[in-house]
Amino acid sequence: MTPHVEPDPQAGAAVKAADRAHVFHSWSAQGLIDPLAVAGAEGSYFWDYDGNRYLDFTSGLVYTNIGYQHPKVVAAIQEQAGKLATFAPAFAVDVRSEAARLIAERTPGDLDKIFFTNGGAEAVENAVRMARLHTGRTKVLSAYRSYHGATSTAINLTGDPRRWASDNGSAGVVRFWAPFLYRSPFYATTEAEESARALQHLEDTIAFEGPATIAAIILETVPGTAGIMTPPPGYLAGVREICDKYGIVFILDEVMAGFGRTGKWFAAEHFDVVPDLMTFAKGVNSGYVPLGGVAINAEIAATFDKRPYPGGLTYSGHPLACAAAVATINVMADEKVVENAAHIGENVLGPGLRELAERHPSVGEVRGTGVFWALDLVKNKETREPLVPYNAAGEANAPMAALGAAAKKNGLWPFINMNRTHAVPACNVSEAEVKEGLAALDAALSVADEHTA
């Protein structure tokens, strides 16, 4: 894969200058960032105006599950734009109906009604609103190690430090510790212990908060940005039981884990659990046009059969986004993209990362499945002290910054969060691309190794 365009540093400089003058970027101190000007992308690669090409091990923000510029999805968007570029949400529109049908066909259990949003945070907002109206209760329980989005309710549900600046009393939100054996909050030494103690902790939290005040528990099926911690066997089934016992709505957030990322259409399938509500976005159409949504079970859907649902969006079920979803889901099925993600995880990426862990003193743990992997980097494998402190910035974060720079120098665009690098390529990544990425990671980890003790 080579860039289709000749390097054009002058054009790149103009793009960068207008960006710096007028674009206000997410999550950033505007004066301290230096965004790369991107000239193009295809499949698992993108390139800049200077002719540098990068293998994208981030899938954008973990959403380009079919890679960049898939010709069939691009054509479907073009065709839809020529036919009916937009239409209001109150009408039945062919691609909207078809997208909802294809999604409902794949969601577990009786999650058969789809409310479309423009992205993940809006999906979480609406799932919580549905749960509150359905139960008549207000509190929602979420995990400390979590990310659920940046709108007001979603950011309050979020556990990671992106919440802190917008944490206005966490209206109606109570956080708890979900299982994470490598850094166990429960001093557990086995998965069975971690699962049992985490469930006990959750039930104790519910008891002290008052079960009758709790509308919902929201969990990422496999927490993503927080560190890709696959829950131990029995945990999610246990949460399902607790929810049933107390009449609490169980929301699984599959915005990042859904649509093939873990090697199944939805991560919930690994655990044989069916939530009451499930949020999705990102991989539903690989983000070619913004789309998210809530999959709703029969009981909660029935709450709004005769009573209006008090929520909506001008662009709910936007035809361009839905056409992209229909094409993406069909491409994923026809090209066996989910099966590829599972194969890559099991036979190439997982073993390759474990092999790196054996040789690099900075890799404390490798965890994941499919194309959803984290390397937990440490100063010392025995003590498990993180390579950089939680939420480190500036000089304190220098080891991770150095790792990132080394990866880029070797042609790999890495996902870095705190003391972790995540390997989250497209679900249709090839074996050769993964091997290329592993070689670049190998070189970058040698830089991280210099900071171990």
Binding-site ranges for ligand PLP (CB under 6 A): 61, 119-121, 124, 147-149, 220, 224-225, 253, 255-256, 281, 292
**To the nearest whole angstrom, how small is the minimum distance from the Cβ of residue 67 to ligand PLP?**
18
d(CA 340, CA 285): 17
| Nearest residue (CB) to ligand PLP, 292 versus 437 | 292
| Token pair listed for 46 | 């993108």
CA distance 116 to 127: 11
Cβ-based neighbours of 181, under 8 Å, separated by 6 or more:
188, 190, 191, 194, 232
Least Å distance between CB 127 and ligand PLP? 10
Q: Smallest distance from the beta carbon of 343 to ligand PLP, in angstroms?
A: 24
Lookup: tokens for 6 = 């000749």
Residue number, 107 or 410, with CB nearest to ligand PLP: 107
Q: For residue 409, what are its two tokens?
A: 């120098």
Q: Which CB, 281 or 366, lies closer to ligand PLP?
A: 281
Q: How far is the CB of 145 from ligand PLP (least distance, A)?
A: 11
Nearer CB in complex with ligand PLP: 49/115 = 115
Nearer to ligand PLP, 196 or 284 (CB): 284
Classify residue 399 as exposed, middle or buried by CB count within 10 Å of its CB (0-12, 13-18, 19+): buried
**Which contiguous run of DSSP H or E holds residue 239?**
helix 235-246
CB of 278 vs ligand PLP, minimal distance in Å:
11
Listed residue (285, 268, 248) closest to 102, CA to CA? 285
Tell me the closest approach of the beta carbon of residue 333 to ligand PLP, in angstroms: 23
* Alpha carbons 69 and 42: distance in angstroms, whole number: 5
User: Which alpha helices (H) appear in 160-289, and where do they start and end?
Assistant: 191-209, 235-246, 268-271
- Two tokens, residue 60: 């954008």
Which C-beta is closer to ligand PLP: that of 291 or that of 375?
291
* C-beta nearest to ligand PLP: residue: 120
Separation between Cα atoms, residue 115 and residue 107, nearest integer Å: 13
